[in-house]
Amino acid sequence: MRALILAHRTTRRAAVGLAAFVLMAGVQRAEGQLAVDQVELFLDPHAPGRRVQSFSVSNESDQVVEATLYLNDWDRDENGENRFSESGRLPQSCGRYLRVFPLSLRLPPHTQQAVRVSLEGDGADSFDKTCWSVVFVESTAQRQARGRAIAYVTRLGVKLYVVPPNLPKEGEVESVAIRDSIGRRLILNFRNTGDVPLWPHGSVEFRRLDASVAETVPIEEFPVLPGSLRRLTLPLPALPRGRYIALALIDYGGSDVAGGQVQLEVP
């Protein structure tokens, strides 16, 4: 996800404040200042060596940068967009079991520091379901633009998953439909019916009535949390006039491949 503006305010000194959240695949960077080397950490409550993980925060600027760290809850909507709330709000929150150290950083230019995330607290040893949280690294930067002081409050997020071992991966294609109201698209609903985060991928085969494949549309890897529904909107390929079966095949890493189909007529 690219930077998402969360707040905007103007002070009497004509300073503009912007709060931005940055969460991208790979290394994350905040306005050329801070960067983190991990976007996701996985902890195993039943393995002593996996109850502690760490990531590094680096200052890539020429100035001293200070940052605070704190936990939040998060999930995704049906379109895959991240949603955030205070720690402990969501039923799948790991917040009460996680400890982050340190909770504040002061980094000289071009230095880095490790941040430790550990699984602690009452009941942490008896996990039987997956839970998840996010640790934010929040910093403030200022710059001059057109005679005004621009202040940026930027949050870098590292997602945290606590996943007990030996949980099966389960998922299903709930529905496949053709919608003409949005420029003729294929709408696929996939649900994670298990208790493990999934990163499925797959394809949609457009088959003629004799079962031969006319076109194949790949489905890139997408994340879906336990118990959640993910809605995918895919463009239809250019097909000759005729009748087809659109066969969706989703590999979610389980014992089988989830599938669903819908009939399609090209006038």
33-72 pLDDT tens trace? 899 999 999 999 888 888 999 999 999 999 999 999 999 9
* Residue-range domains of the chain with CATH: 4-162 (2.60.40.10), 171-266 (2.60.40.10)
Which residues are CB-neighbours of 187 under 8 A, at least 6 positions away?
Answer: 175, 176, 177, 178, 179, 231, 232, 233, 234
| Model confidence, pTM | 0.83
Q: Would you give the DSSP letter of residue 237?
A: P
Name the strand (E) or helix (H) holding 141.
Answer: strand 131-145
Task: Enumerate residue ranges in the chain where pLDDT < 50.
Answer: 1-25
